[in-house]
Amino acid sequence: MPFSLAKRWHLRQPSVIPGFGLALGVTVSWLTLIILIPLSGLAWRSSALGWSTFWSLALDPRTLNALKISFGTAFLAALANVVFGVLLAWVLVRYRFSGRRVIDAMVDLPFALPTAVAGIALTTLYAPNGWIGQYLEPLGLKVAYSPTGIVIALIFVGLPFVVRTVQPVMEEIDREVEEAAATLGASRFQTVSRVLLPGLAPAVLTGFALAFARGVGEYGSVIFIAGNLPYVSEIAPLLIVIRLEEFNYPAATAIAAVMLILSFAMLFLINSIQAWSRRRYVYGS
C-alpha cells in the first residue's frame, strides 16, 4: 500500500498528550446536557406549532418590532463598546498612572453587579427628574423610557466583554513592532491602523460578538430604563415574559425560536469573519 494511502486511512495521529478520548467524551456530554438538550426542546416545541401557525406568530407586528429593538440596540451598543472598549484597554495596557488598578478593577463591576441594580441605577440617573436626565430634558434629549436608554444599559453590561477580550492580546504585542514601524517611516496613525489594529481584529471581533450576544438576551438591566412601551421600547425577552404570563405559550415559543435562529446566524457570521481575520492578520502567522 502506498505511503500516502496508508496515511489517508490513519484517522488520528497519536498525541503526546494523554486523555484525548476521555476529555472529548466529557466535553461532548457536558455540552449536550447544558446546551443541546434545552435548545432541542425549544426546537421540538416550535416544530409542534406547524409552519403556518409558527410564521403567523413570528411575523406578528408587535413581535417584529420587539425583535428589531432588541437586535438593533444590541448591535449599536456592541459597536460603541468596541470603540471605547479598545480605547480603554489601550490606556490600561500602554500607560502607567496612579489609579490605573482602580480603573482596571472597575471594568469588572458589571460582571458582579446584579443587572436589576444596574437598571435601577441607570434609570435614577437618566429619568427626566434624575441627576443627568434633568439637564438633558430641557435640551429635548430623552434617554430613559426610550431606545436610547436601552442602548446605554447594554453598553454598561457589555463593556467588560470587549475590554477583557482585547486587553490580554494587546499586552502580548511587542513594543518593538511599533518601534520598527516608526523606524521604517510610518506615522503614528499608520502604526495604529496598519500594524496594531489588524493584529487585534480577531480579539475585537470576539469582544463584539460576546457583547452583542449579551445585549440581545439582556433583560434585568433593560426593563427598568426602557419603559416597556409596545412598538416603542419593548424588547423581545420582555415580550416572551408577557406571553408566558398570558399563558400564550405558542407565541412565547415562536419568539424564542426566532431569537435563537437570528442570534445563531449572526454569531456564526461574526465567528467566520473572526476566523478569516485570524488567519490573515494574527501576529506570528
Q: Tally Cβ neighbours within 10 Å of residue 53.
A: 14
Q: Tally Cβ neighbours within 10 Å of residue 272.
A: 11
Closest CA to 264 of 35, 52, 63, 59: 35
pLDDT at 16: 65
pLDDT at 113: 86
pLDDT at 211: 93
The Cα–Cα gap between 119 and 149 comes to 10
Phi, psi of 113 (to 5 degrees): -75, 130
pLDDT digits over 214-237, tens only? 899 898 889 888 888 888 889 999
Instruction: State pTM to two decimals.
Output: 0.83
pLDDT at 7: 52
Residue numbers in the chain where pLDDT is lower than 70: 1-18, 281-285
- In this structure, are residues 81 and 211 in contact, taking their beta carbons and an 8 Å threshold? yes
The Cα–Cα gap between 159 and 150 comes to 14
C-alpha cell at 183: 523606524
- In this structure, are residues 57 and 246 in contact, taking their beta carbons and an 8 Å threshold? no
C-alpha cell at 143: 434617554
| CA 200 vs CA 158, 221, 248: distances in Å | 18, 30, 46
pLDDT at 264: 87
